Amino acid sequence: MIRQWAVSYSQSVQWRLDATGTTGLGGPTVFTVWIDRHRRPDEPSACRASAITATSMVIKFDDPADIGGTAILERQITYRKTTQAVEDQISISSWDRNSTILGLSPGTSYYFWARVRNEVGWSTYGPRITATTLDEPDPPGVVSFSEVQQRSVKVSFVDGDTGGTAITGRQVGYSLTTGLPTTLVTYSGPTTISGLQPATKYYFRSRTRNSIGWGNWGPTSSVTTLAGVRIKVDGVWKTAIPYVKVAGVWKIARPWGRQFGYWEETT
């Protein structure tokens, strides 16, 4: 007679030859066989990224519910850049299954997987995740102008990408050349820049800051403040700045002219 039993876990199985009529088979006796049902563990959970900075992050994962019937001996997190084929592995032995990954590049996306090993072998890798390190913000958009006057102009710009963390500061800078700004002004929305010289060309740029630091300056734009009048000198029309005397003090004037029946400020 043949009988079958399902053995779903590691255990000792006994076969018994009864005493009656078994002497020719070596009985009576008992045979004990150890059946090893251990196997490789299931794949662990997907990794989770936290405490992300510009050059590091904490990666965690959970062991599988089914570890294959024997203890987990080793854990690994594998990671790589999206732009590289070379993989880096680190062994994780801590029971909380986490590791701080150091030496990462700012503003870079990384792939992360995890796997575990018992005495039988390694599991397959768990689901892959992508996490991106923080970076300085991208340069803002070009500075735009409105309400251009003889000594002032209103400026505004739009933030670029934040780099993964909130913008904490904004600046507008300007100078008389296309190089780096020589005068910086804190920006919190459309801002009127005062104290400029009439009939003068100024070059403006902007930048933003997050917890990582200041981003690069944005593109250069320019504006020329108003003068007011033009006069002819040796046959050549030139821009001039009109002045009027008020209570004994000469002050810059803002002249108006009438064209096609409408009064408007002259430039």
Residues paired with residue 56 on neighbouring β-strands, in sequence order: none
Cis peptide upstream of residue 190 (ω within 30 degrees of 0): no
Residues in the chain: 267
Residues of the chain with CATH 2.60.40.10: 48-132, 144-224
- Per-residue pLDDT band for 257 (boundaries 50, 70, 90) equals low
Residue 68 and residue 115: Cα distance in Å, rounded?
13
Number of H helices, E strands in the chain: 0, 22
- Which pLDDT value is given to residue 121? 92
Q: Domain 144-224 has what CATH class?
A: mainly beta
- Whole-model pTM over 0.85: no
Confidence band for 92, pLDDT divided at 50, 70 and 90: low
User: What average pLDDT score do residues 45-53 get?
Assistant: 94
Q: What is the mean pLDDT of the chain?
A: 83
* Per-residue pLDDT reduced to its tens digit, 148-161: 988 899 999 999 99
Considering the segment(s) 48-132 as one domain, its CATH architecture is: Sandwich (2.60)
pLDDT band at 93; cut points 50, 70, 90:
very low
- Is the pLDDT at 91 greater than 70? The verdict is no
Question: Cα separation of 37 and 22, whole Å?
Answer: 31
